[in-house]
Structure 1
Amino acid sequence: MSDQRPSSRRPQVFRLDETNITLAPPDPIEPETALLPAAAPPRRSGMSWGGLFWSALGGIASLAAYVGLSRLVEDLFARAEWLGYVGLGFTALLVLAVVIIVGREVAGLSRLARLDDIRRRATLAIAADDRSEAEGVARDMLRLAAQTPTLARAHADLESHLSGIIDGADLVRLTERTLLASLDSRARQMVSDAARNVSVVTAVSPRALVDLAFVLYSAVSLVRRLALLYGGRPGALGMLRLVQHVVGHLAITGGMAAGDTLVQQIVGQGLAARLSARLGEGVVNGLLTARLGLAAMAVTRPLPFAALPAPRLADVASGLLRKAEEEEAVASRRQ
C-alpha cells in the first residue's frame, strides 16, 4: 500500500470556449418523489365485530321500542279515541326529541373527528413539508377560529399572511403560533385551577367518597371545558369517546411523568411523607388532576405542539409544591 499522496495543484482559470476543455456531464437529478417520505398505511376499512354488535343491538332496541309504542297507541285508541290522539302526540314529541338528541350527538362526534383529522393532517404536512396540505389545515383552523370572538384579530393576521408563506411546515407553525398561543395559555390556567381545587378539597374533606366524587366531577368537567375551548363541543357520547382517548394518552405517556422535575422534587425530597396524611393526599390528587389535564390538552388541541412548547407538569402544578413546602415549614416551626 503506497503512502504517496496526490500533489497539491494550484487553482487555474479556463475559458469554456477553449477547444481542449472537456466538460463533465451534469450529475443526475433524482426525481422529487424520492425525497418525500413514504405514504402512511391506509386505514382498515369495514366494520369491526364490536361495531356490528352495537349496530345490531341498536336495531333490536329500536324495533322493540317501535312495537311497544305502536301497541300502546292502539290500546289507547281502543279504550278511547281522545286517549289515542293524546298518546300519538306524546309519541311524536318523543320521536322528535330522540331525533334532535341523536343529531346533536352525531354533530359532537363529527366535531371531535374533525379535530383529530386536522391534527393528523398537520403532522403529515410538517413531516413532508407539503404546502397544499398545510394550506388546507390553515383554512380549517381559520374556520374554527371564526367561531371564537377573542381570536378575531389573530384570524385576520393569519389570513393576511396566508399566501406569503411558501413552506408547508412553516405555514402550520405560523398557524399554531397565531391561533393557539392564547388558547394554550387559558388551557394551562384551567388545568392549574382544577389541580389546585382538587388539592384543597381532598385535603379538607372528611370522607373518601366525597373526595372520589369531587375528583371525578373535576376531571370530567376539565376535559369538557378544554374541548369547548379548542372547538370540540362534545355531547354525551363524545365525552365518553374523549375520556377514552384521554385515558389512552395517559396510558401511553404515563411513564414520562416519573421523569418530570416536579415529581422528582416531591418523591426525591420525600415531601409527601413529611406532610400530614390529608395534605399529602391532596397534593397527590392535584398532581394526578394536572396530568389528566395535560393529556386532555394533547387530545383536544387541533394542532400538534410544533412551534409552541408543550406544557409540563411543573408549568401547571408548581403551586402545589410551593404550598406543600410552606405547610412543611409551618409544621416544622410549630415543632
Structure 2
Amino acid sequence: MATMSSGKAREADRSIGAILVSSGRLAIEDVERIINFQKERDLRFGDAGMQLGLLTEADIFYALSLQFDYPYLSGPGHPVSDEVVVAYRPFSAEGERLRSLRSQLQLRWFREGASRVALAVVGTRPGEGRSLLAANLAVTFAQAKERTLLIDGDLRNPRQNSLFRVENQTGLSNLLTGRMHEQVIKLVPGIPGLAVLPSGPIPPNPEELLGRASFARILEQSMSAFDVIIIDTPAITCGADVTLLARFAGAALVVARNNMTRTAELRDLVAHMQDAGVKVVGSVLVDAPFTKPAKLKKQGEAGGR
C-alpha cells in the first residue's frame, strides 16, 4: 500500500540532501557529486541529482514533503487514482496551478466569513472535468491542513468513489432517504484531514432527493466538523440538481473545457447561478494551452471555448 510522507518540525531546517541521506535514499558521496555538479551547471540540488541519475522525481517530492510537512502518496498499491495528480505529485507544475487556485478560493470565498465553508464545482455538460478538479482541489485543501470533505453530489454519474477507490454501496443517497444512520463518510488513507462522502446507490429521482430538507441538515452538520466542503455536481444539462447543490453551498466554481465548452452555454450557466442567488467565485479553464495555466477569472468574466 502507498504510504504518506509527512514531516516533523525538525525537518524544516534540514537540506534535501540531508533528508535523503538519513532516509537511505542517497549516499554521502553522492551528495558531494551532486553539489559539485550543481555548482558547475548552476542548477538546483534536485535538478542536478536527476541529471546525474542519482535522484528521481519521487525522491525530490519525498524530501520536499518532509521539509514543508506536506503529505502526499508514494509507493506501490496506490489507494487513490493516478488522475488525482496532486496526491502523488504535489510539487509538479499541475500541483502548483492547483495550489494557486486554492489560494484564490481562500481569498475570494472561504476566508470571507465563518459560514462560508462549502463550494460547488459546476459545469455545462459531461466531460468537462468537474469531478477531477473537485477531487484535486479537495486534496490540496487537506494538504494545507484544512479539514476537508468532498461530497459526490452527482447522483446520476458519480465518479468520486472510483477516483478515491472507496466502495459506493452506501453514501449520500442513503442519507437523503434516511436509510443510513451509521458513518458513511470515508477517510482517505495517507491524506490526513481528507474525507469523501460518495454518492451511494444511484436513485431514480436524484432531483427530488436533493430538494429535500435532509440535504440541508447533512450540509449543516458537515459544516460543524469540516473547514472546507467541496461538492461535485452533475452537468446542468443533466437536470436541476446542480442548481440545488450550488444554492445549498452558496457559492460555485465554474469549469469550462478548452475546445468543448460553448461560450453561450457557459454564460447562461453563470447567469443562471447568479439568478439563483449563488455567488460565482470564478471559473477554471481545463486543458488550456500549457503556456496559459488555468486560473480564476473575476466574477462576470467567465468564458470558455
Q: Whose radius of gyration is greater, 1 or 2?
A: 1
Per the normalisation by structure 2, the TM-score is 0.24
Per the normalisation by structure 1, the TM-score is 0.23
